[in-house]
Amino acid sequence: MDTRRPLRIFATALGTAGLLVSGCSSGGSAPSASATGSAAVEELKPYYVQKLRWRDCGTEGFQCTTMKAPLDYAKPDDGDIELAVSRKKATGPGKKIGSLLVNPGGPGGSAIGYLQGYAAIGYPAPVRARYDMVSIDPRGVARSEPVECLSGKEMDAYTQVDQTPDDEGEITELSKSFEKFAKGCEKRSGEILPHVSTVETARDMDILRSLLGDEKLHYVGASYGTFLGATYADLFPARVGRLVLDGAMDPSLPAIEINRDQTAGFEGAFQSFAADCVKQTDCPLGTTSTDGAATELKKLFAGLDSEPVPTGETRELTESLATTGVIAAMYGEESWPQLREALAGAQRGDGSGLLALADSYYEREPSGEYANLMFANAAVNCLDLAPAFAGPEAAEKALPEFEKASPVFGRGFAWAALNCGSWPVDPTGAPHRTEAKGADPIVVVGTTRDPATPYKWAEALADQLSSGTLLTYEGDGHTAYGRGSDCVDTAINTYLLDGTPPKDGKKCA
């Protein structure tokens, strides 16, 4: 698994919609010279004045269209990329504020799937009444010229490779699996691979903002979506409207620190799960202590490493798949009962429960095909930052610090961080402070026991942003908006509806 994949699990397995096109129009402002890179403003103007042609998606209440953006912003004449957009118009009553773009994270999560399966029907009614709910699948993702890397059968093999190698042979096998993945991406998606960075996607969002007729961008981004939103704010501070960055990432960190922090985050999430589990009569990890639960889980992983168990289909439950299944359940407390049942099943020799959790994480369909989530995830991550480890020796050297961060997951997370070491495209991004000087107030939301985007990242981003204000949810799970806290939801709704941010440092239990 790619440990730089912070993503709201519930938002990734939603229904799809057809991508169609028909009538409507433009507005908004053209790009400033400072925000267009090496391309002149005039070279980008055609993209800012194109017409969006909306048509029904085939999903009731939603419209879909496509828009064009330069494949390479530095060379707009070298060709276009076509990006998928969907919206659900404001329902009223009340004066329309504008469009509210949403992104669920990943990188690689389908924003259109998130919009149609959750945001445009699940966000609070007053918000949906006054905003057109809009999403754009980022370049390389889902409906927007998706990155492709491996076939379904090849992905099945890839997900089963041992990610806690015990000897040189297993280290070689793991390294070769990363190399095969990277070569597959280059073979199938070589043209787009150098052009799926977060900076390019943020520039695409500004074109869309203009085409929707909005002077400023209103946006809710979760998880990786916070990095995308913060990047937009840094590029276009004068065009920042009401931005909510929920489950924040810290753009100033190098890849190795991101991976190490997430390792500690998932350890903390497991400790919360274990503390709850040992109080339950059906806890498969014992009923004594969290340390005892950790010992039992490691024992289960070790047993699967030597002898996988059947699942009722051709794939067996390996240690790597079991670990992924457990990780998938760490994103929210609502998955804990399912995890207890799945672990108990695995102990009985039935791996189907943990396999189902792993498949949900990887977005594997019952047909054996995979969504492009993991392909896009690697493509964006490996372009945005230099690899955590250039080779197996560096990963092996870092094992002690990763195991210190998480006795349960540390080894696997360290080796997983090797995935960008064989990437065929050089990274174009680097760690940097993100200040967005001159932007309107930006709300940064952090959950104290968030496994995928540790709370200290939210503190760091709110501190870096010149207009950042921190809203804290003291609890478990990944992200906070819409997860049951009236305090969090009221603060964000108030900001989205009347522009008043919560007081910096506000805490919700």
Separation between Cα atoms, residue 390 and residue 367, nearest integer Å: 35
Catalytic site includes residue 478 = yes
Name 230's bridge partners.
none
* DSSP letter string, 441-508: PEEEEEEEE-SSS-HHHHHHHHHHSTTEEEEEEEEESS--TTSS-HHHHHHHHHHHHH--PPPTTEEE
Active-site position among 99, 135, 223, 467:
223
Catalytic site includes residue 223 = yes
Q: CB of 322 within 8 A of CB of 301?
A: yes
Active-site position among 175, 189, 406, 478:
478
Separation between Cα atoms, residue 285 and residue 277, nearest integer Å: 8
Separation between Cα atoms, residue 20 and residue 22, nearest integer Å: 7
Separation between Cα atoms, residue 473 and residue 455, nearest integer Å: 9
Separation between Cα atoms, residue 445 and residue 479, nearest integer Å: 8
Tell the residue number behind the tokens 């494949």, with chain if given: 71
What is the dihedral sign for C-alpha 404, 1, 257, 233?
negative
Active-site position among 206, 450, 476, 489:
450
Three-state DSSP state, 88: strand
Residues in the chain: 509
Please give the single-letter amino acid code of residue 25: S
Active site residues: 223, 450, 478
